[in-house]
A and B are shown apart, each in its own frame.
Chain A
Amino acid sequence: MSKKTGNGVRPQGVRPLLKRFLRNRGLTPVVLAFLLFSTVAHADVSIESSVSRARLGIGEELTYDIIVTNAQGRISKPNFTQIEGFSSYSQGQSQEISIVNGQSSSRSIFSYVLIANSEGKKMIGSFQVNIGGKDYAVPPVEVEVVRSPAGAQPSGPVYSPPPRALPGREVRNEDIFVKAWLDKDQVYVNEPATLTYTVYTRLSATYKGFDKEPATTGFWVEDFPPEMTAKKTEQFIGGQRYVVADVRKLALFPTQAGVFTIDPGTLSTVVEVRQQNDFDSFFSYNIFGRRGGSFPPAFVSQVFSKSLSTEPVTVTVKALPETGRPESFSGAVGEYAIESSIDKRHLEAGDPVTFRVRVSGRGNINTVQTPPPAAMEDFRIYDSASSANVRKERLVVEGEKTTETVLVPRKPGTYTIPPLEFSFFDPKTESYRELLTSEHKLDVRPGRAEDEEAPQGAPGALLPAEKQDVILMGRDVRYLKTVSGGPVDGAPVHRRGAYWLLNALWLAAWAGFAFAASRRAAENGDISGLRYRRSHRLARRHLKKAAEYLKKGDHDAFYAETSRSVYGYFADKLNLSAQDVSAERVEALAGDRAEPQLTSEIRDLFHALSFGRFASVDKNEERMQQVYEQADRAITRFEKVKIK
């Protein structure tokens, strides 16, 4: 943007110096003139180009410099043209001149900021620079643009030039300003006032959002969608042409009466300043009288961040009038319609029917309360669903709210759902309005479940009262205890030594007395009990051994073992010695507690055993098997006989 083409310095009397003029608006005309009249020492011209980075992601920026060294004569700006895949902005020009021992050298640097738009390998250049009337080529540079690098945010709109660290005074407040205004000075509670932010600009500007959001305490805020608001018009103010745009609209619903001052906050904009408006350009074009082909294209421009703030706005909120306020009024302000519907007219007792109430219209629909359904004795009533749908397309807040209630009739009959009252305050007419929904008839047939529940009594009999569940009104903690008692929350019982000591005492008593009892039983010769208890187990053990001998075919051992089992068993069971056991004794002692069949079987068994043992002639295996089974059966059956 800045153009400084002083091409040399008189060598004599000037100390070696290095000067860097960056955006040299502050340069005084004296220095300028001094530079203009100087001559340049001999040196070769060289032209380089450089980029701050060779690889970058989409949306990232790089700095592209064209460096002209030791130019003689005036350097015009490079014919910098739009580069495909980049947005470009001139960042200005700087110049360095140094004179050492009479040798002067100069460097002019043209800087551009390039923002990558698309990926791929890109060639920047080549451009032409006109120096002293001769064109020189700028060597091209290759850079690679990659898809967004890790962590880099895609930076929204492509047009987001990097804000330069430039003071805001570069752009005057007359060039761009914002007005925040309300469409009404006075509103009723819950009547919307629209707050509009209008930007007036003489420059090319982009609205970037809010640095500081407006302070809207005391209001319910509905933001209108931005695409509804940004319409540009032109206006002349004080002889100047301004582009005017509403950048944001808010609907403010006051929640209480009073006088409120709203701090509108601060907007952030980016302003693009074209070169032509620049003092320096004006200066250089006229002094040098050259408007060559190297005149920078219009897209090369300077961008600034600019914060815009404006005066607070004040609104007076009036309370809703007390007079004429209907009983059903619940705070709705605006213009509404109400309707109700049911999803079926004919149903059985116990079947649910959905009762729907829909309020629609203009106003703060989110805070509108639909009227609750009337209490109906013969119905169980359940709230089910409520939904609100807010629309802002037409720059008014409107929408609808629907509440569904499920009604379950208890008894058959014809019922009427009574109409519901709904009222709202209409700020246009400044009056309350009342609406009624239509009533609905329900035809309820007897249901299956209902028949069982309510049997019809005989004529004149007392019918049971209609029972109703106890309905919980709200949830809260139960009340305090009024009497304190019982144990204290302290160390638990099992942590006390005394507890385990007591347990040990019980254990000791148990063990001691059990042991003493068994000792005394043994001493008193109460062997019989022991023998009685052990008899079956012992007999089984011997019988098992006998089975092994049976398998081996050891005839003598089998009979010996089987006899031991059987005689031992009856001896133990009847408290006899083994020699005393005989069929007669068993019969006598068992008495009529044993069945006759069992005693005869036992007699047969004894017989077979003595026969097998003493008359060892018949070594028939089949016979042994038979005896074994006999013994097994006898013991099993006799075990069931109660002896004692």
Chain B
Amino acid sequence: MRHLVLLFGLLAATATLADNSTAFVEGGARYQAGDFKGAAALYESLVDAGLGTADVHYNLGNVYFRLGLEGKALAAYERALRVRPRDADALWNRELLKSVLADRIESRPPGWLVWLEAVSIDELARVFSAALCLCALLAVGGYFKPGARAWRPLRTVALLLLLAAAALFAGKWSQVKDPRAVVIEKEVTARYGPSVRESRAFVLHEGALARVTDQTDEWYRLMLPGRQSGWVPKNSTELV
């Protein structure tokens, strides 16, 4: 009897998992069969349904890459890495993709901030919250067992942890607070203002990734790492 219940429970669990991943598995099959457009449609439907895990975005990136859509592929890999920043496959593929892009845009942050590339903002948010929780628990402990000598060093450690987590969180936040956009057209001219009448600033090619610092109805203002900025039409880019 007990086994039966266990079995049912297991079945129910796998059923929900399979439900989510039917399209995922089917997409893989289409990819293998060479039907990249079909695979893209399936993965996109998963993303639209709010089921865009890092794996879905990663696979979508591969599909776009095979379709020659380098800009969309880069955007997909960036999304995958946003969720799972240390995914070796996604890092490899992104590097490979960047090596075939036309524009050389240095997107690595300077100095120690490089280290922040390896962690996601969610992870740091959780570490910060955990440090705060630790401080609170120590306060509770100190209240109920006031005499113990261990409290003081523990409190110091917790406080340092909290400060470090806050600093890292703030650093990461400054990196990701602006949305980013990828150029998905072969070539797009950035202008000094949000109109085709404005004079030209520079030309970006497919796969160029830049921060979006401002926008109008039809234009984004892109900021390149070199502090150059220009306006490009929204429909020639895709937000990461």
A: residues with CB less than 8 A from B are: 475-490, 492-494, 499, 502-503, 506-507, 509-514, 516-517, 520-521
Q: Cβ of B136 and Cβ of A506 under 8 Å apart?
A: yes
Select one of B89, B125, B176 contacting A478, CB under 8 A: B89
Within 8 A of A (CB), among B82-115: 82-84, 89, 92-93, 96-97, 99
Select one of B28, B59, B66, B125 contacting A499, CB under 8 A: B125
* Residues of chain B lying within 8 A (CB to CB) of residue A512: 139
Q: Cβ of B53 and Cβ of A489 under 8 Å apart?
A: yes
* Residues of chain B lying within 8 A (CB to CB) of residue A509: 136, 139-140
**B172 → chain A, closest Cβ, in Å?**
9
Of listed A475, A478, A484, residue having the most chain B CB within 10 A = A484
Select one of B59, B146, B176 contacting A480, CB under 8 A: B59
5 nearest CB pairs, A to B = A513-B139, A481-B55, A510-B136, A509-B136, A484-B55
Select one of A484, A490, A516 contacting B20, CB under 8 A: A484
Q: Cβ of B129 and Cβ of A502 under 8 Å apart?
A: yes
Q: List 17 A-B residue pairs with CB atoms under 8 Å apart, sorted by A's residue number.
A: A480-B28, A480-B59, A482-B25, A484-B24, A484-B51, A484-B53, A484-B55, A485-B55, A486-B84, A489-B57, A506-B133, A507-B132, A509-B136, A510-B136, A513-B139, A517-B142, A520-B146
Select one of B57, B58, B97, B129 contacting A503, CB under 8 A: B129
Within 8 A of A (CB), among B169-211: 169, 173, 176
**B78 → chain A, closest Cβ, in Å?**
10
Within 8 A of A (CB), among B5-42: 20-21, 24-25, 27-28, 31
* Residues of chain A lying within 8 A (CB to CB) of residue B176: 492
* Residues of chain B lying within 8 A (CB to CB) of residue A503: 128-129, 132
Q: How far is the CA of A46 from the CA of B173 in the complex (A)?
A: 91
* Residues of chain A lying within 8 A (CB to CB) of residue B61: 477
* Residues of chain A lying within 8 A (CB to CB) of residue B142: 513-514, 517
Q: How far is the CA of A521 from the CA of B146 in the complex (A)?
A: 9
**B121 → chain A, closest Cβ, in Å?**
5
Q: How far is the CA of A512 from the CA of B136 in the complex (A)?
A: 9
Identity of the chain A residue whose Cβ is nearest the Cβ of B146 in the assembled complex: A517
Q: How far is the CA of A502 from the CA of B125 in the complex (A)?
A: 12
Given contacts A483-B55, A509-B139, contact A493 B93 (CB under 8 A): no
Select one of A476, A485, A492 contacting B122, CB under 8 A: A492
Q: Cβ of B139 and Cβ of A484 under 8 Å apart?
A: no
**B84 → chain A, closest Cβ, in Å?**
6
**A528 → chain B, closest Cβ, in Å?**
12
Identity of the chain A residue whose Cβ is nearest the Cβ of B139 in the assembled complex: A513
Q: Cβ of B83 and Cβ of A513 under 8 Å apart?
A: no
B62: CB under 8 A from chain A?
Answer: yes
Q: Cβ of A481 and Cβ of B89 under 8 Å apart?
A: yes
**A505 → chain B, closest Cβ, in Å?**
8
* Residues of chain A lying within 8 A (CB to CB) of residue B62: 477-480
Q: Mark B48-68, 1 if CB is under 8 A from A, else 0.
A: 001111111111011001100
Q: How far is the CA of A479 from the CA of B25 in the complex (A)?
A: 14
* Residues of chain B lying within 8 A (CB to CB) of residue A478: 62, 89, 92-93
B135: CB under 8 A from chain A?
Answer: yes
Q: Cβ of A489 and Cβ of B52 under 8 Å apart?
A: yes
Select one of B24, B53, B121, B126 contacting A488, CB under 8 A: B53
**A221 → chain B, closest Cβ, in Å?**
28
Q: Cβ of A492 and Cβ of B125 under 8 Å apart?
A: yes
Q: Cβ of B132 and Cβ of A492 under 8 Å apart?
A: no
Q: Cβ of B135 and Cβ of A506 under 8 Å apart?
A: yes
Q: Cβ of A477 and Cβ of B96 under 8 Å apart?
A: yes
B79: CB under 8 A from chain A?
Answer: yes
Identity of the chain A residue whose Cβ is nearest the Cβ of B89 in the assembled complex: A478
**B192 → chain A, closest Cβ, in Å?**
27
Of listed B20, B52, B58, B139, residue having the most chain A CB within 10 A = B139
Q: How far is the CA of A466 from the CA of B51 in the complex (A)?
A: 49
Given contacts A514-B139, A521-B146, contact A486 B129 (CB under 8 A): no
* Residues of chain B lying within 8 A (CB to CB) of residue A521: 146
Q: Cβ of B139 and Cβ of A510 under 8 Å apart?
A: yes
**B74 → chain A, closest Cβ, in Å?**
12
**A111 → chain B, closest Cβ, in Å?**
46
Q: Cβ of B96 and Cβ of A475 under 8 Å apart?
A: yes
A481-B89, A490-B52 provided; 8 other pairs, C-beta below 8 A?
Answer: A479-B89, A481-B59, A486-B83, A488-B50, A494-B121, A509-B139, A510-B136, A517-B139
Given contacts A478-B89, A494-B173, A514-B139, contact A489 B82 (CB under 8 A): yes
Q: How far is the CA of A507 from the CA of B134 in the complex (A)?
A: 10
Q: Cβ of B143 and Cβ of A499 under 8 Å apart?
A: no
* Residues of chain B lying within 8 A (CB to CB) of residue A516: 143
Q: How far is the CA of A510 from the CA of B121 in the complex (A)?
A: 24
Q: How far is the CA of A507 from the CA of B136 in the complex (A)?
A: 7
Select one of B53, B125, B135 contacting A486, CB under 8 A: B53
Q: Cβ of A488 and Cβ of B55 under 8 Å apart?
A: no
* Residues of chain A lying within 8 A (CB to CB) of residue B169: 494
Q: Cβ of B97 and Cβ of A477 under 8 Å apart?
A: yes
Q: Cβ of A486 and Cβ of B51 under 8 Å apart?
A: no
* Residues of chain B lying within 8 A (CB to CB) of residue A483: 21, 55
Given contacts A477-B96, A478-B92, contact A493 B125 (CB under 8 A): yes
Q: How far is the CA of A486 from the CA of B59 in the complex (A)?
A: 14
**A498 → chain B, closest Cβ, in Å?**
11
Select one of A486, A514, A517, A520 contacting B55, CB under 8 A: A486
Within 8 A of A (CB), among B108-167: 121-122, 125-126, 128-129, 132-133, 135-136, 138-140, 142-143, 146
* Residues of chain B lying within 8 A (CB to CB) of residue A490: 50, 52
* Residues of chain A lying within 8 A (CB to CB) of residue B93: 477-478
**B94 → chain A, closest Cβ, in Å?**
9
Select one of A489, A493, A510 contacting B132, CB under 8 A: A510
Identity of the chain B residue whose Cβ is nearest the Cβ of A510 in the assembled complex: B136
Q: Cβ of B83 and Cβ of A489 under 8 Å apart?
A: yes
* Residues of chain B lying within 8 A (CB to CB) of residue A502: 129
**B55 → chain A, closest Cβ, in Å?**
4
Q: Cβ of A476 and Cβ of B139 under 8 Å apart?
A: no
Identity of the chain B residue whose Cβ is nearest the Cβ of A490 in the assembled complex: B50
**A8 → chain B, closest Cβ, in Å?**
64
**B202 → chain A, closest Cβ, in Å?**
26
* Residues of chain B lying within 8 A (CB to CB) of residue A499: 125, 129
Q: How far is the CA of A503 from the CA of B166 in the complex (A)?
A: 12
Q: How far is the CA of A488 from the CA of B53 in the complex (A)?
A: 4
Q: How far is the CA of A486 from the CA of B56 in the complex (A)?
A: 10
Given contacts A484-B20, A507-B132, A510-B132, contact A489 B139 (CB under 8 A): no
Given contacts A494-B121, A499-B129, contact A510 B135 (CB under 8 A): yes
Identity of the chain B residue whose Cβ is nearest the Cβ of A494 in the assembled complex: B125
Q: Cβ of B97 and Cβ of A482 under 8 Å apart?
A: no
* Residues of chain A lying within 8 A (CB to CB) of residue B54: 486-487, 489
* Residues of chain A lying within 8 A (CB to CB) of residue B139: 509-514, 517
**A501 → chain B, closest Cβ, in Å?**
11
Q: Cβ of A506 and Cβ of B132 under 8 Å apart?
A: yes
* Residues of chain B lying within 8 A (CB to CB) of residue A477: 61-62, 65-66, 92-93, 96-97
* Residues of chain A lying within 8 A (CB to CB) of residue B52: 488-490
Q: How far is the CA of A477 from the CA of B169 in the complex (A)?
A: 32
Q: How far is the CA of A488 from the CA of B83 in the complex (A)?
A: 7
**A491 → chain B, closest Cβ, in Å?**
10
**A511 → chain B, closest Cβ, in Å?**
8
Identity of the chain A residue whose Cβ is nearest the Cβ of B39 in the assembled complex: A480
**A307 → chain B, closest Cβ, in Å?**
36
* Residues of chain A lying within 8 A (CB to CB) of residue B79: 489
